[in-house]
Structure 1
């Protein structure tokens, strides 16, 4: 039965603990499952452990003097817990790091070329570019401009495009809405949902903007102080009074800034 469940998940993260400098325990027994073709959100406040969870999956902990001290991570049924980051990319895991990191001195088209895997044919690369431009028409319009002069939203689109050109099976996005206007967040999240639906791409989305994330994902995990404190379907999480009050800006008729928000403790921290 366990093997059947794992076969349905592209990613299985089981009881993971992460240590920094062999002292600081950043995440504590985190378990996350991403079913194939689904969109899953990791929600929580700043510093809760969301980004560390993504880095554990993509293999980027070592660069920050972090390591997995307990648990296992399986991707497509293969244990990748100790695997090098580059090998994980080759397997189909792509991690879009927070901050819209693109080559600012290159054009969007050159950025996409630079991100393509070694050995990808020119015909395949051109086909992938056209697919990306169809999802992001703004990039098509600006593909020969210098990337450093793109707007924040356009740079985020380019960062996602650079990930897509690698033909990933699992796309991990770290705070794609950060610093963007609400209409841009809605546009980009809508495109991510479209890609998921049309290509069956599995997505793991880290977001502080819980309201926007829960509109497009099927399930969510709430992380606080390095632990998963809640997991459920997106609709159930949106209806939960604690989620509404502490993450969606009000619940039970309460405004986010009113006194009740501060006086009521989160039940899972009691």
Structure 2
């Protein structure tokens, strides 16, 4: 690690929607320089809200950070507009593969690079890097993006983010709706980018199995609170994680008695 401070630190964040609804409560998360960290949890746990508090995308949804602080590269970024955060090096790939469907992948990448400016030479270098990591995108570069497969659209969404040369890449549910072999392929590529480019990654996922294979540490979010934080290896071995997130919980209700006692144990 090149610096003493983490690239990102959330300290005791609280987010409220419409001035009344408390979405996340006292969330603290750290991403080390050049690290890969997962934020895990079921649907509605507050994972996307946490990401949007970092990228600044809460405001359009009438959400606001009402407590705690968010530091990026040891600077307080709470007051910055989303665009200013992108220019600092924070980029979020939103859930649902948002790409310009009427444009080709090539045109999508060029459009994304305009967000941060820079010379044509830099843009071409960045585009070459994206195509090197995602050869399938290079093969489909002149197709209309709306006709790409779900996996190819996800690759393009990540490629668009990389065109801004971020320091922190935040991925919101990249596995959603994709076949397991595609999820493994995309996660392997992201890990490769992390290792070769030194890009820090915060991965938000319901798919704990896939996420814990590529990250070093994980946080588990439930009902807007962090209930567990550990190394990926320790989380994979944890019997509660195995039962509820690694495929052993078919047909079980999250709010049954065992679940309640498990939460009490984690929070105590």
| Band the TM-score falls in, shorter-chain normalisation | over 0.9
Aligned to 1:226: 224
Which of 144, 147, 152 aligns to 2:145? It is 147
Equivalent in the alignment of 1:32: 29
Matched with 2:238 is 240
Cα distance between partner residues in 2 of 1:137 and 1:5: 31
The answer to whether the Cα contact below 8 Å between 1:6 and 1:12 also exists between their aligned partners in 2 is: no
Match of 2:10 in 1: 13
Q: In 2 relative to 1, CA 36–210 (structure 1 residues): closer, same or farther, beyond 3 Å?
A: same
Q: Deviations over 1:76-124 (max 9, x none)?
A: 0100112111110000000000000000000000000000034311111
Counterpart pick for 1:157 among 155, 158, 170: 155
Residue 114 in 1 paired to residue 111 in 2?
yes
In structure 2, the residue matched to 1:100 is 97
In the alignment, the residues of structure 1 paired with residue 3 and residue 131 of structure 2 have an alpha-carbon distance, to the nearest angstrom, of 34
User: Aligned to 2:169, which of 168, 171, 179?
Assistant: 171
Q: Assess, with a 3 A threshold, how the Cα gap between structure 1 residues 258 and 100 changes in structure 2: closer, same or farther.
A: closer
1:8, CA displacement in angstroms? 2.8
Distance in structure 2 (CA, Å) of the matches to 1:86 and 1:169: 15
Mapped to 2, the partners of 1:118 and 1:212 lie a distance apart of 32
**Cross-structure match for 2:263:** 268
Contact 1:20 1:67 in 2 (8 A): yes
- CA-based RMSD of the aligned residues comes to 1.8
Query: Structure 2: how far apart are the matches of 1:165 and 1:235?
Result: 32
TM-score by length of 2: 0.94
Are the structure 2 counterparts of residues 6 and 133 from structure 1 closer, same or farther at C-alpha, using a change threshold of 3 Å?
closer
1: CA distance between counterparts of 2:236 and 2:47?
Answer: 19
- TM-score (normalised: structure 1): 0.93
Shift in Å, 1:265: 2.0
Paired position in structure 2 for 1:68:
65
Q: CA 1:94 to 1:260, structure 2 compared with 1: closer, same or farther past 3 Å? A: closer
Q: Deviations 1:146-173 (Å, cap 9, x if unpaired)?
A: 0000000000000000000000000000
**2:134–2:155 contact (8 Å) kept in structure 1:** yes
Whole-Å Cα distance in 1 between the matches of residues 250 and 136 of structure 2? 36
In the other structure, the counterpart of 1:124 is: 122
Which residue of the partner structure matches residue 253 of structure 1?
none
**Please, which runs of 5 or more residues in structure 2 have no aligned partner?**
none
The one of 248, 257, 267 aligned to 2:250: 257
Q: Is the 8 A contact 2:116 2:164 kept in 1?
A: no
Report the equivalent of 1:137. Answer: 135
